[in-house]
Amino acid sequence: MKDIFEKCRNFNIVKELEEKGIYPYFKVLESEQAPEVMIEGKKFIMFGSNNYLGLANDHRMKQASKDAIEKFGTGVAGSRFLNGNTTLHTRLENQLAKFKGREAALIYATGYQMNLGVVSALVSKGDMVIVDKLDHASILDGCKLSGAEIKRFKHNDLNDLEKVLSKAGEDIGKLVVVDGVFSMEGDIAPLPEISKLCKKYKARLIVDDAHATGVMGDNGRGTCEYFGLEHNEVDLIVGTCSKSFASVGGFVVGDKEVIHYIQHMSRSMIFSAGLPPASVAAISKAIEIIESEPERRKRLWENSNYLLESFKNMGCNTGHTKTPIIPILIGDNEKTFTLWRALFDNGIFTNPVVSPAVPPKRTLMRVVVTASHTREQLDRALNVFETFYKKIIKKKVFHKV
């Protein structure tokens, strides 16, 4: 008889990477998310964190969390649908709606749960949901959970999107879901054109601004602000609270009646405990800081532009990024792991991204800069990176580990 655990016993790829000394995941940090972190007693320049604005270790964020714990305890002990709803939660939703310029907002325990819950609440069997091929996995999982027909279009390819929409027919409900900023390659969805196509074919549009919130636009309100889009050009904006907001959670903002419907139909919201008070308070404080300290975003972009230009001068292929997410395209799993190991051995923490997370010929080193990095830290990291990039990638010689 078939044993479902057999695949677990035959799962050898991680063991093989560990034996070669190039397994890069589940590293245990011994310090807070700062520009430099401690791992096994050694200091690393952190180039792998989504702490874009440097708020994860801000003393005001910590104090807000402490104050919330003192008043509300460590957890809400239930779903928001029942007993897990506090004044902190409703205040945060009002803040989010105002920050994003929408009528209403709803928060979830995680960004993953948010995408599961929002998509599956809005579409079902008989509908069609259309996604970019590089959309985040949580979006695709939400589509699968919904039971709707799933169609994928080529990354940022407007002609392919229109081809899919035109074949869908007028009698079927259609939802298009795209990332505003794509998490691995740092490029931006062409939202104005996507919005026009959605209106032409009577499809609704959701934009996931997980990596754009706090980063894009004059006030950090995301890709809609970046493109100057009006409220009626994007139906719903979703995102996470684990990047610029430096906590955990997910959110959706939009028209009041739509948010009200999602609130009562979203399974991942109804059947999950509410976000802990400490996290809710931290997110609220993050929004306050983002609105009052635009200089953080300015420093982020100064660091990002400096780092990107330096990588290009090295001869690195950085793809089409226009954000603080800088991909160093390599195109080979083993070379990517080998470069990661060389950087790690020399005090640089990065994120290797290999297939199947990306197509086999699009493997990359994901480098993320923050507002808190100093120029000295950037230069020190660039010197290390240039040495081993030339040795391993440009000369195609593996660093011995």
CB 96 within 8 A of CB 105: yes
> In the annotation, is 133 catalytic?
no
Q: Which residues contact 210 (CB under 8 A, 6 or more apart)?
A: 111, 136, 179, 180, 181, 183, 238, 239, 240, 243
Work out the angle at residue 252's Cα, subtended by the Cα atoms of residues 367 and 161, and round it to the nearest 5 degrees. 70
Question: Which of 89, 136, 151, 243 is the catalytic position?
Answer: 243
Angle subtended at Cα 256 by Cα 255 and Cα 259, rounded to the nearest 5 degrees: 85
Q: What is the DSSP letter of 390?
A: I
Residue of 276, 296, 301 lying closest to 286 (CA atoms): 296
Q: How far apart are alpha carbons 52 and 369 in whole angstroms?
A: 7
Give the max Cα distance, the chain: 63
d(CA 335, CA 150): 34
Cα-Cα end-to-end distance for the chain: 42
Contact 234, 258 (CB under 8 A): no
Find the catalytic residue in 49, 65, 183, 284: 183
Identify any residues that bridge with 353 across adjacent strands, giving them in sequence order: 364
Is residue 272 annotated as a catalytic residue, yes or no?
Answer: no
User: Residue 38: beta bridge partners?
Assistant: 43
Which residue, 75, 111, 2, 17, is CA-closest to 277?
Answer: 75
Per annotation, catalytic residue among 151, 211, 285, 335:
211
What is the 8-class DSSP label of residue 186? -
- 243 in active site: yes
Any idea which residues carry the catalytic annotation? 183, 211, 243
